[in-house]
């Protein structure tokens, strides 16, 4: 278990360095998709335009996005940073990747995110099966369950020093399924 964690951390660091050296500048993409479907006490994390870097067998993804949160009857949105990595690289290149969408289904995980804590895939129960009853995070698109990731609340380093800022939004703007 420790060896796998070490390998994932090494993958993250290597690929983040590759992406940073390519003068990656992220801008929040205008959301063209409809507002997410949110049940009570869930959050949807969307990374619309992630960058992907491949270095032989290593593959890394990085980008900025949003977490749309419905918690205790209130709705909000907050910016997030995202980095992921695995061993599925096949060549040497940097480019755009498909959008990533994940649903956080566990209230305690949403609370950790809104309090400013990083969400690390090694510490979460993750699935791509919507019927998995114990999954805290459901991967909808853009990643496999084998890909390690970190979701960091906030838009920049200042958010690491201060608490990340959530912006309230009307729940009526969200499509709900209850």
Residue 34: the pLDDT is 45
Question: pTM for this one?
Answer: 0.75
Lowest mean pLDDT among 112-116, 134-138, 158-162: 158-162
pLDDT tops 60 at residue 35? no
Which of the four pLDDT bands, split at 50, 70 and 90, describes residue 4? low
The answer to whether the beta carbons of residues 153 and 113 sit under 8 Å apart is yes
Model confidence pLDDT, tens digit, residues 42-54 = 999 999 999 999 8
Q: Which residue has the higher pLDDT, 166 or 90?
A: 166
Q: Please provide the DSSP assignment of 105-170 as one string.
A: --HHHHHHHHTT--EEGGGS-EES-TT-TT-SEEEEES--TTSEEEEEESSSHHHHHSPPPPEEE-
The answer to whether the beta carbons of residues 99 and 51 sit under 8 Å apart is no
Model confidence pLDDT, tens digit, residues 48-93 = 999 999 888 888 999 999 999 999 889 999 999 999 998 887 778 8
Residue 37: the pLDDT is 56
Model confidence pLDDT, tens digit, residues 140-156 = 999 999 999 999 998 77
Contacts of 46 (CB under 8 A, 6+ apart): 31, 36, 65, 66, 67, 68, 99, 100, 101
């Amino acid at each position: 278990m420790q060896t796998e964690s070490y390998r994932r951390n090494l993958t993250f660091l290597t690929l983040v360095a590759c992406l940073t050296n390519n003068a990656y500048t992220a801008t929040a993409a205008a959301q063209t998709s409809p507002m997410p479907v949110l049940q009570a006490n869930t959050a949807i994390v969307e990374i619309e335009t992630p960058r992907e870097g491949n270095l032989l067998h290593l593959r890394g993804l990085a980008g900025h996005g949003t977490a749309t949160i419905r918690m205790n009857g209130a709705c909000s949105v907050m910016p997030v940073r995202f980095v992921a990595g695995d061993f599925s690289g096949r060549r040497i290149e940097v480019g755009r990747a498909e959008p990533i969408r994940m649903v956080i289904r566990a209230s305690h995980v949403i609370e950790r995110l809104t309090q400013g804590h990083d969400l690390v895939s090694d510490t979460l129960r993750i699935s791509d099966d919507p019927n998995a009853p114990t999954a805290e995070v459901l991967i909808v698109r853009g990643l496999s369950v084998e890909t390690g990731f970190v979701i960091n609340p906030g838009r920049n380093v200042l958010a690491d020093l201060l608490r990340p800022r959530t912006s309230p939004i009307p729940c009526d703007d969200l499509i709900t399924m209850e």
